[in-house]
Structure 1
Amino acid sequence: MNNPTQNQPYSPMPRDQVPWLLFRVEHRLSSSYGTLSAQARIARIVTPPTPDDFDRHLLNSKDFLTPFLSYFSNFRRALSLYRAFRLEGRHEVTITALWARDMANIYNAESIAQSLGFRDGDGANPRRMLRDHIGEFLIHGGIVDTCRILTVFRGMNAPPTLTPTPVTPGPITIREVDVVFECDAYQAVATLPEGFLPSSLQDNALRALDEEIYRRTGMLNDFWRDIVVSAVMGRPVNWAGRFMGAEQMGFLFGDTGQRRGEGDLMALGGQ
């Protein structure tokens, strides 16, 4: 590990500077699934993280469990990883949308990676590329407040079975469909994997999203809904952009930082 003698813990981001919305991709075989995962939402009492904890996590070391969950502020990056897992044949692939505004114990992975010696350019270690951690944020200790989970996008995943099913010859394909988010204030069309919304109301995507947020949080909140739609679209919709400011818009719509191939993308799923 880099900097093995460094023992001064890093400071988490100030609560008022964290991205408002973060996305996590998981599948059934993710090492965090059902333990420290966004879906299990199990809070854990953990000691302050050390530089070695960060280094092991950012290296995606399979030999060590770390106290972090990796989230991404850019929906496009999360969707790329989602598609990669689906094409690999993973089951129960999900994207969780987390309302992270004012959360504690969130760390900027790019800043920490830079301090640990990650860099880009000729001769750089491919496992220590700084650009791979642009837009990545580490949540220490898991998700405590279940109401922060706004929605879980599932798509038409093949359900798990108790008995093995024969493998169908030929490549796996993902059917893409146009999804319309429409209300009196705006109409937005996004191309997403079929069945991506967590509702059978595919003919009314905005209503489906409203119902999912209400089911999970107990609140009807147009702002939350419009921020999620903005993330999916890659641009602000309605009046959401007026309240975000340049920094939050940079988190949501900025460079994904992702330059990896599909194989490398899929390696991130256990983090």
Structure 2
Amino acid sequence: MDNRFHPLSGDDKPYFLFRAESQDNRSFENGGIFARNPRHNHPTAQDFDNHLSWQRIDTGLVSFTSSWRRVMERRQMLIDRREEDVIVVAVQAKNLVGVYSAERVAEALGYRDENNDPRRRPCHRDEYLIYGGISPDEYAILAVFDGREPCVPVIFNTPAFEYHGQIPRNSLPGQAERGPLVALEDEMYRRTGRRDDLVRDELVRTICGVPHMPWLVRTIY
């Protein structure tokens, strides 16, 4: 493995990662996220460069963002391009292996603002790469939001907090009838087989742009 590129340690990974997909670029299936044709045990410098410079080549890498705002922007871009069946996948990243900071990788590859090739300029803030994808038995996928309808303001309400955010309308089963918090909790249970209020609440904070409470987050889900 090229010693310029190292996967992130647990402390360096964001709590959650998000990915917007459409039918045409779907990697989510059968409860996991699967990269196209990973050919090595580790990504090579060429794999990273091909992926970050948007070459139409299978690299075994899948892009995510740690920002809910950015994934909503990506979702809207897919809708504006009239792509079908848009979804947003939320992933708990702390226990995943093979997670790379796209920003650090771009820096190691020599991407610069003054680069003559606009595809090799540093525009990868909040972007993370996972090599090979995410297996269903890792139970890291927390929720899959239907992203086809417009975003609407929502309130996540518990006796302990009230947070305001935006998610797509009817993006979770039961969202309109039972409220977004219960709908999110039930979705997480469907995906992972567990209920965990602490992880749920941290995901809500991320969606609403509220600072995390690291002393509450468990290392193992």
* Fold agreement, TM-score > 0.5: yes
% identity of equivalent residues: 31
Question: Of residues 49, 62, 74 in structure 2, which corresponds to 1:81?
Answer: 74
Name 1:166's counterpart in structure 2: none
Q: Aligned pair in 2 of structure 1 residues 175, 133: CA closer, same or farther (>3 Å)? A: closer
Q: 1:119 aligned to 2:112? A: yes
Aligned length: 213
Name 1:135's counterpart in structure 2: 126
Shift of 1:190: 1.9
Cα distance per residue 1:225-253 (max 9 Å; x no partner): 111111111113xxx525279xxxxxxxx
Question: Of residues 178, 181, 186 in structure 2, which corresponds to 1:206?
Answer: 181
Name 2:94's counterpart in structure 1: 101
Name 1:52's counterpart in structure 2: 46
Select the structure with the greater relative contact order (CA < 8 A; seq sep ≥ 6): 1
- For residues 153-232 of structure 1, the aligned pairs below 5 Å read 153-155=145-147, 157=148, 175-196=150-171, 198-203=172-177, 204-232=179-207
Query: Structure 2: any 5+ residue segments left out of the alignment?
Result: none
Question: How much is the aligned-residue C-alpha RMSD, in angstroms?
Answer: 2.5
Q: Aligned pair in 2 of structure 1 residues 220, 244: CA closer, same or farther (>3 Å)? A: closer
Contact 1:214 1:220 in 2 (8 A): yes
Contact 2:146 2:168 in 1 (8 A): no
Contact 1:99 1:148 in 2 (8 A): yes
Cα distance per residue 1:171-197 (max 9 Å; x no partner): xxx64422121111111222333223x
Question: Of residues 12, 15, 20 in structure 2, which corresponds to 1:20?
Answer: 15
Q: Aligned pair in 2 of structure 1 residues 180, 211: CA closer, same or farther (>3 Å)? A: same
Distance 1:65 1:119 in 2: 24
Cα distance per residue 1:77-113 (max 9 Å; x no partner): 1111001111221111111110010321111111110
Q: Aligned pair in 2 of structure 1 residues 202, 125: CA closer, same or farther (>3 Å)? A: same
Distance 1:73 1:141 in 2: 18
Distance 1:102 1:86 in 2: 32
**Larger proportion of strand:** 2
Contact 1:179 1:202 in 2 (8 A): no
TM-score (norm 2): 0.86
Question: Of residues 17, 23, 29 in structure 1, which corresponds to 2:24?
Answer: 29
Distance 1:243 1:12 in 2: 24
Distance 1:212 1:125 in 2: 43
Name 1:250's counterpart in structure 2: none
Shift of 1:123: 5.8
- For residues 229-248 of structure 1, the aligned pairs below 5 Å read 229-236=204-211, 240-243=212-215
